[in-house]
Structure 1
Amino acid sequence: MTQAGLDHFERLYSASDDPWRVRESWYEQRKRALILAALPLKHYRNAYEPGCGNGELSAALAQRCARLLASDASPAAVALTEKRLSGPGEASVEQHVLPRDWPAPERGPFDLIVVSELAYYLGQDGFDQLQSRILASLAPEGTLVFCHWRHPFDDRLQGTEALHDAMTALPALAHALHHRETDFLLDIWTRAPGEAA
Structure 2
Amino acid sequence: MTRPVFRHDRPGTSASAWTTVLAAHAMVPLQLPSVAGRLVVVGAHPDDETLGAGGLIRVAAIAGWQVEVVSATAGEGSHPRSPTHSRELLAQVRRHELDQAIARLAPGAAVTCLGLPDGAVADHLAELVAHLVAMIGIDGEDVLLLAPWRRDGHPDHEAAGLAAAIAAARTDARLVEYPVWLWHWGDEQGVPWAQVRELPLDDEVRAAKMSATAAHASQVEPLSPAPGDEVLLDAPLRAHFRRDLELFFEDDEPVRDDALDLVHRERSDPWQVESDYERHKRAVTLASLPRQRYEHGLEVGCSIGALAVDLAQRCGRLLAVDASETAVTAARERTAGLDQVEVRRAAVPAQWPSGRFDLVSISEVGYFLSPRQLAGVVERSLAALTEDGHLLLCHWRHQPVGWPLAGPAVHEAFLASGAPVLVEHQDPDFVLHVLGRPA
Alpha-carbon offset, residue 73 of structure 1 = 0.6
Secondary structure of 2:310's counterpart equals helix
**Maintained 8 Å contact 2:398/2:429:** yes
Secondary structure of 1:176's counterpart equals strand
**Maintained 8 Å contact 1:66/1:89:** no
**Maintained 8 Å contact 2:395/2:430:** yes
Is 1:10 aligned to residue 261 of structure 2?
yes
Q: Calculate the TM-score normalised by the size of structure 1.
A: 0.90
Match of residue 59 from structure 1 = 309
Residue pairs, 1:30-45, within 5 angstroms: 30-45=280-295
| Aligned-pair identity (%) | 37
Alpha-carbon offset, residue 87 of structure 1 = 1.2
Question: 2:279 aligned to 23, 29, 50, which one?
Answer: 29
Q: List gaps (5 residues or longer) in structure 2.
A: 1-169, 171-253
Alpha-carbon offset, residue 9 of structure 1 = 1.6
Q: Deviations over 1:151-178 (max 9, x none)?
A: 122133213222212212223x210111
Q: List gaps (5 residues or longer) in structure 1.
A: none
**Maintained 8 Å contact 2:298/2:360:** yes
Alpha-carbon offset, residue 3 of structure 1 = 4.6
Secondary structure of 1:67's counterpart equals strand
Q: Aligned equivalents of 1:97 and 1:41: distance in 2? A: 28
Root mean square deviation, CA, Å: 1.4
Greater share of strand residues, 1 or 2? Answer: 1
Alpha-carbon offset, residue 128 of structure 1 = 1.0
Letter in 2 for 1:15: E
Letter in 2 for 1:13: H
Q: Aligned equivalents of 2:363 and 2:407: distance in 1? A: 11
Alpha-carbon offset, residue 31 of structure 1 = 0.1
Is 1:48 aligned to residue 321 of structure 2?
no
Is 1:70 aligned to residue 317 of structure 2?
no
Q: Deviations over 1:26-80 (max 9, x none)?
A: 0001101110111011110000001000000001111110000001111111011
Match of residue 19 from structure 1 = 270
Question: 2:347 aligned to 94, 97, 118, which one?
Answer: 97
Question: 1:180 aligned to 426, 431, 435, which one?
Answer: 426
Secondary structure of 1:115's counterpart equals strand
**Maintained 8 Å contact 1:62/1:89:** no
Q: Which runs of 4+ in 1 moved over 6 A?
A: none
Q: Aligned equivalents of 1:15 and 1:166: distance in 2? A: 32
Instruction: Count residues with an aligned counterpart.
Output: 187
Letter in 2 for 1:19: P
- The structure that has the greater radius of gyration is 2
